[in-house]
Amino acid sequence: MLQEESDLSLIIAQIVQKLKGSSLYAQLERQAWASLQRPEIKLESLKEDIKEFFKISGWEKKLQNAVYSELSVFPLPSHPAAPPEHLKEPLVYMRKAQGSWEKRILKSLNSMCTELSIPLARKRPVGEQKELLNKWNEMGTDEPDLSLFRPVYAPKDFLEVLINLRNPNYENGDSLSFRTHLGLIQVPLKVKDIPELKECFVELGLNTGQLGIDDSTQVPPELFENEHVRIGQKVLAEQDSAAAQQYIRQGSPTALRAELWALILNISSQPEDILYYEQLKTNVIQHDLLVDSLIYKDVKLTASNDDYYFVFEDYLYQVLLCFSRDTSVLSHFAYNSASPPKSYIRGKLGLEEYAVFYPPNGVIPFHGFSMYVAPLCFLYHEPSKLYQIFREMYVRFFFRLHSISSHPSGIVSLCLLFETLLQTYLPQLFYHLREIGAQPLRISFKWMVRAFSGYLATDQLLLLWDRILGYNSLEILAVLAAAVFAFRAVNLMEVTSLAAAEAVLADLSTLKVMPLLQIFLFATVT
Amino acid sequence: MAGKVKWVTDIEKSVLINNFEKRGWVQVTENEDWNFYWMSVQTIRNVFSVETGYRLSDDQIVNHFPNHYELTRKDLMVKNIKRYRKELEKEGSPLAEKDENGKYLYLDFVPVTYMLPADYNLFVEEFRKSPSSTWIMKPCGKAQGKGIFLINKLSQIKKWSRDSKTSSFVSQSTKEAYVISLYINNPLLIGGRKFDLRLYVLVSTYRPLRCYMYKLGFCRFCTVKYTPSTSELDNMFVHLTNVAIQKHGEDYNHIHGGKWTVSNLRLYLESTRGREVTSKLFDEIHWIIVQSLKAVAPLSLQPVMNNDKHCFECYGYDIIIDDKLKPWLIEVNASPSLTSSTANDRILKYNLINDTLNIAVPNGEIPDCKWNKSPPKEVLGNYEILYDEELAQGDGADRELRSRSGQSLGPKAGRSRDSGRTVLTTWK
């Protein structure tokens, strides 16, 4: 009991510490001072009166939301003497693997840089700065020569690294046999099985109304949709993050989604946020980074060719270029197993005083990175808000999809969850695919790394991301991947090659995700 | 005896021919006995012309109405809508209500337009009222964006002035007639780009008016960022959304072809602007289409014979939405392009023809023009009933005003429980 209490007070202390540095704290302080003018605040009961005032005026709610937001990424309780690396990633072998992967990426980046004789960063001459400022809203029309640039890595390179992950402490006594090497992922992490998933995703059950199922044309709106919309409006009026998160498990009405996501992610566009974004924009104008070309190339290769997102090409540059200069992103590395790459001022290699993080936000984009931003353009058309939402989505969720960690929402766990679900509940399919050299993970990996962006129709993708926010977990991606295989099982059983399997699963744009998930979790005979 | 449908066409497009062949129809020439003729607009003129025309027999169908040009020629469309409005005003219909500025409340959906050179002086008067406005000149008889240009100075259209002293300009035959419309310089932009909507509407009869809207319309985006700046008036890539023009732009992408589905548009608008205004927008679009058809309904039939039963027509409606979410009817095409610019496009147009044929030639059998042109719900495919005059009138006085949300056409159109009825709102 005492241990729990002291754990709790430690957590509280840490959160208080964190929030003291935020603008919310300054605002609360200002509000408290201003409230002294109010007649109901009496000197004798100052503390209670101010607390009451905060409650009534909605400031307490804002504080609640901020605390809730902090808790959602708070690392799991650990030993008080644990070193900070342990908070990033408790398993040593994972940390090591992530470290060597990072070294490889940085090496690749540096060698590209040397080959092309382009500096990692340079200050733009004034003329170029002016030009860029003029073109800020239409950078898509720029056609720089990107032919020599290659993406630093693609998802399939990352998959190879994950396949080779081994836990040196794990010895299961079996000699190398068929059974020990069924799937591609060979590390023993705990993943949920279907009964546990059913418990976890209970709101997706057959008896609960869902958007994505129960708002279809055949169902009269009085049965579910109208009431759900009404509740959604109420949640927004209350401005309660936790309630919104619970509500959105059943899906968000299209018209309310933008606000609901902002509420859950605790984003409110304050003037200082807009100012911060403008500051980042200035940084982009003044300095040119090598990663900018990587971003350009990625957008041109992916989003520009996408039926849904090509319209927003210019927004993508505006968000991603600013993102790579945003040093506030560095704080998420406290709970990310990855570490920001370091680079050195020219000529001072190895001297720690001259080390800088490169890119400034510590995140090197890979092929398909821009697809994390693209769906958000359907919801937010104001660049600074779009930016804030994306940044928060990244530091809460997306980073886990391309760093090696043991976290249940980390990509390694997702891969293992996917494979285990298939092996356990669709063994015949799994065996067949393996036999023809079409390991299922090789096909589904890219879906999960991109959180299905660019593979599903946008309205379906947004329904899926609703649930990611609602459950504060990415496990649903692995479940959906397995559900897709289950859905196309009949066709897959007939193919005889990896290429043919890929072809069966090439087009997911007609899939409806919620029925697939519901059937797989709750209606499949096991 | 059920023979195979004999078809003719003078438009060699695979989306058509594949559809005919998959139904097992037999190709013949126009001099033989044919049942179905998919003709170009030039040919239809001959079929129905007083001199060279001929009577169609009961088992013959063509894909145009004889007087379709009343709707599809830019000048005639405007004339007819103006006439329709005046008629309604004269009979005191509430539809013709005007606001305090004299603008029609419900029927103001065509940008201010004048014919040149006939209305030149009227135009000049209007132009002088707002001299900083931009106007768009369009040749009446051309398509695909040909011959269109923008002006913002009277001097740019001196040639069309009625009593022009520059008589070197050859006298204007009807072929060279132009319309000049107020340019909508505040279009709704998405991603900073201008776009227009192309919607397909099938009319199976005008009397009674029965029309269907194809669910899979699309938005055509310009490849270049929109700017109302006058320096870019000559840059057709900024202003004209016709694919025929955009195709030649540097940034034209052959994968998506600069096109979005209407459902994407709806998702975007609902997410960023809310459901009510989006539903209202789509309601207004449906309203515009039906009103434009009603305006020409009395004219679509030759006075002497009733050709309605031999005809159907699939129109391509071009609509622009301004930044106040008001839709404007730009023009109606009688022969919407059957060329496909992308793979998706090809599939769309193939399905469009397929669904059109299913409604116009039921069961793929030899047509009998005595049938009542009332196809069962199942064959509609991707079409939805837009307006059915017979059913609408059958309701009589107690026709309800339906509530907006969930009842308008769009992804939820099938929700209407009695699917034969109109699904539009604000009918008075």
Q: What is the CA radius of gyration of chain B?
A: 22
Nearest to A257 by CA among A514, A461, A2: A461
Q: Kindly determine whether residue B192 and residue A377, on different chains, have CB atoms separated by under 8 Å.
A: no
Amino acid at B134: T
Q: What is the DSSP string of A38-73?
A: STT--STTHHHHHHHHHHHHTHHHHHHHHHHHHHHT
Q: Kindly determine whether residue B264 and residue A381, on different chains, have CB atoms separated by under 8 Å.
A: no
Residues A458-484 have a mean pLDDT of 95
- Our CA-based measurement puts residue A511 at a distance from the nearest CA of chain B, in whole angstroms, of 15
B57 close contact with A: CB closer than 8 A: no
User: Residue B426 has what pLDDT?
Assistant: 37
Suggest the residue from A135, A136, A223, A254 to mutate for an interface test with chain B (most B CBs closer than 10 A). A254
- The DSSP H or E segment spanning B139 is strand B135-139
**Residue B166 above 50 pLDDT?**
no
Instruction: Determine phi and psi for A419, rounding to 5 degrees.
Output: -65, -40
- Per-residue tokens: A202: 């209970």
Chain B hits for A458, CB-CB cut-off 8 Å, are 264, 267
- Per-residue tokens: A185: 């992922």
B221 close contact with A: CB closer than 8 A: yes
- Per-residue tokens: A247: 């509500």
**Residue B198 above 60 pLDDT?**
yes
Chain A hits for B406, CB-CB cut-off 8 Å, are 221
Residues A490-504 have a mean pLDDT of 94
Residue B144 near residue B337 (C-beta atoms within 8 A) = yes
User: Residue B420 has what pLDDT?
Assistant: 29
Residue B424 near residue B387 (C-beta atoms within 8 A) = yes
**Residue B400 above 60 pLDDT?**
no
Q: Which of A23-37, A336-350, B51-65, B400-414 has the lowest mean pLDDT?
A: B400-414
User: Residue B278 has what pLDDT?
Assistant: 94
User: Residue A415 has what pLDDT?
Assistant: 95
List all residues 6 or more positions away from A143 whose beta carbon is below 8 Å from its beta carbon. B250
Residues of chain B with pLDDT > 90, as a percent, come to 15
Suggest the residue from B218, B221, B261, B271 to mutate for an interface test with chain A (most A CBs closer than 10 A). B271
- Per-residue tokens: A377: 């353009």
Question: Alpha carbon A309 to chain centroid distance?
Answer: 19
Cα B73 from Cα A440, distance rounded (Å):
57
Terminal-to-terminal C-alpha distance of chain B: 47
**Residue B172 above 50 pLDDT?**
no
Instruction: Determine phi and psi for B74, rounding to 5 degrees.
Output: -60, -40
Cross-chain CB nearest to B270 (options A218, A254, A305): A254
- Our CA-based measurement puts residue A218 at a distance from the nearest CA of chain B, in whole angstroms, of 6
Q: Kindly determine whether residue A257 and residue B253, on different chains, have CB atoms separated by under 8 Å.
A: no
Nearest to A304 by CA among B67, B325, B22, B223: B223
Residues B20-35 have a mean pLDDT of 85
Residues B278-301 have a mean pLDDT of 87
Chain A hits for B411, CB-CB cut-off 8 Å, are 217
B153 close contact with A: CB closer than 8 A: no
User: Residue B416 has what pLDDT?
Assistant: 31
List all residues 6 or more positions away from B265 whose beta carbon is below 8 Å from its beta carbon. B190, B197, B219
* Count of C-beta atoms within a 10 Å radius of residue B57: 10
CA dihedral A8, A10, A12, A18 (to 10 degrees): -150
Ranges A141-150, B77-86, B243-252, most confident? B77-86
Q: What is the DSSP string of A368-393?
A: TGGGGTGGGGGT--SHHHHHHHHHHH
Residues A15-40 have a mean pLDDT of 83
Q: What is the DSSP string of B7-55?
A: EEES---HHHHHHHHHTT-EE--TTS--SEEE--HHHHHHHHSTTT--P
Amino acid at A116: L
pLDDT digits (tens, 9 = 90+) for B98-141: 887 777 878 888 888 888 878 888 888 888 888 788 888 888 77
Cross-chain CB nearest to A305 (options B255, B344, B412): B255
Cross-chain CB nearest to A141 (options B224, B259, B272): B224
User: Residue B173 has what pLDDT?
Assistant: 46
Ranges A86-90, A197-201, A206-210, A267-271, most confident? A197-201
Q: Kindly determine whether residue B263 and residue A258, on different chains, have CB atoms separated by under 8 Å.
A: no
User: Residue B417 has what pLDDT?
Assistant: 28
Q: Kindly determine whether residue B255 and residue A459, on different chains, have CB atoms separated by under 8 Å.
A: no
Q: Which of A292-306, A435-449, B356-370, B374-388 has the lowest mean pLDDT?
A: B356-370
Q: What is the CA radius of gyration of chain A?
A: 24
User: Residue B244 has what pLDDT?
Assistant: 62
Of B56 and A27, the one with more pLDDT: A27
Q: What is the DSSP string of A347-366?
A: T-TT-GGGEEESSTTS----
Residues of chain A with pLDDT > 90, as a percent, come to 46
- The DSSP H or E segment spanning A127 is helix A126-134
Suggest the residue from A311, A377, A382 to mutate for an interface test with chain B (most B CBs closer than 10 A). A311
Nearest to B192 by CA among A178, A137, A30, A239: A137
User: Residue B281 has what pLDDT?
Assistant: 95
- Our CA-based measurement puts residue A337 at a distance from the nearest CA of chain B, in whole angstroms, of 35
User: Which residue stretches of A450-497 are H helix?
Assistant: 458-471, 475-487, 489-493
Residues A504-510 have a mean pLDDT of 93
**Residue B163 above 60 pLDDT?**
no
Cα A220 from Cα A208, distance rounded (Å):
16
Instruction: Count how many pairs of residues, chain A against chain B, have C-beta atoms within 8 Å.
Output: 72
Name every residue in A having a CB less than 8 A away from some CB of B. 137-138, 140-141, 143, 217-218, 220-221, 253-255, 257-258, 304-308, 310-315, 377-381, 458-459, 462
Residues B353-365 have a mean pLDDT of 83
If contacts are CB pairs under 8 Å, which of residues 311-350 in chain B contact chain A? 344
Instruction: Determine phi and psi for B278, rounding to 5 degrees.
Output: -70, -45
Nearest to B312 by CA among B392, B386, B201: B201
Residues B173-199 have a mean pLDDT of 82
Amino acid at A161: V
User: Residue B20 has what pLDDT?
Assistant: 87
Using 50, 70 and 90 to split pLDDT, how confident is the model at A172?
A: low
Using 50, 70 and 90 to split pLDDT, how confident is the model at B424?
A: very low
**Beta B26-27 vs B6-9: how paired, if at all?**
parallel
CA distance readout (Å), B310 to A96, A182, B293, B306, B367: 78, 66, 18, 9, 9
Residue B382 near residue B214 (C-beta atoms within 8 A) = yes
Q: Kindly determine whether residue A218 and residue B224, on different chains, have CB atoms separated by under 8 Å.
A: no
Chain B hits for A141, CB-CB cut-off 8 Å, are 224-225, 251
CA dihedral A54, A58, A59, A64 (to 10 degrees): 110
Instruction: Determine phi and psi for A502, rounding to 5 degrees.
Output: -60, -40
Q: Which of A388-397, B158-167, B197-206, B330-339 has the lowest mean pLDDT?
A: B158-167
Question: Alpha carbon A86 to chain centroid distance?
Answer: 21
Residue-wise burial string across A451-471, b where 16 or more C-beta atoms lie within 10 A, e elsewhere:
bbbbbbbbbbbbbbbbbbbbb
Instruction: Annotate B193-235 with three-state secondary structure.
Output: EEEEEEEEEEEEECCCCEEEEECCCEEEECCCCCCCCHHHCCC
Cross-chain CB nearest to A137 (options B192, B260, B412): B192
Cross-chain CB nearest to A254 (options B250, B271, B415): B271
Cα B197 from Cα B296, distance rounded (Å):
22
Q: Kindly determine whether residue A254 and residue B260, on different chains, have CB atoms separated by under 8 Å.
A: no
User: Residue B254 has what pLDDT?
Assistant: 65
Suggest the residue from A214, A299, A307, A386 to mutate for an interface test with chain B (most B CBs closer than 10 A). A307
Instruction: Determine phi and psi for A468, rounding to 5 degrees.
Output: -60, -45
Cross-chain CB nearest to B260 (options A255, A258, A311): A311
At residue A309, the 3 state secondary structure works out as: coil
CA dihedral B70, B73, B74, B75 (to 10 degrees): -60
Please tell me the total number of residues recorded for chain A in this structure. 526
Q: What is chain A's mean pLDDT, rounded?
A: 87
CA distance readout (Å), A263 to A59, A103, A238: 14, 38, 10
Residue A365 backbone zone (phi > 0: left; psi -120 to 50: alpha; other: beta): beta
User: Residue A318 has what pLDDT?
Assistant: 93
Using 50, 70 and 90 to split pLDDT, how confident is the model at A183?
A: confident
Using 50, 70 and 90 to split pLDDT, how confident is the model at B272?
A: very high
- The DSSP H or E segment spanning A287 is strand A287-289
Cα A180 from Cα B157, distance rounded (Å):
82
Of B155 and A376, the one with more pLDDT: A376
ipTM summary value? 0.87
Nearest to B162 by CA among B105, B201, B123, B121: B121
- Our CA-based measurement puts residue A312 at a distance from the nearest CA of chain B, in whole angstroms, of 5
Amino acid at A356: V
Residues of chain B with pLDDT > 70, as a percent, come to 73
- Our CA-based measurement puts residue B125 at a distance from the nearest CA of chain A, in whole angstroms, of 38
Residues of chain A with pLDDT > 70, as a percent, come to 94
Residues A411-418 have a mean pLDDT of 95
Using 50, 70 and 90 to split pLDDT, how confident is the model at B379?
A: confident
User: Residue B223 has what pLDDT?
Assistant: 72
Of B65 and A371, the one with more pLDDT: A371
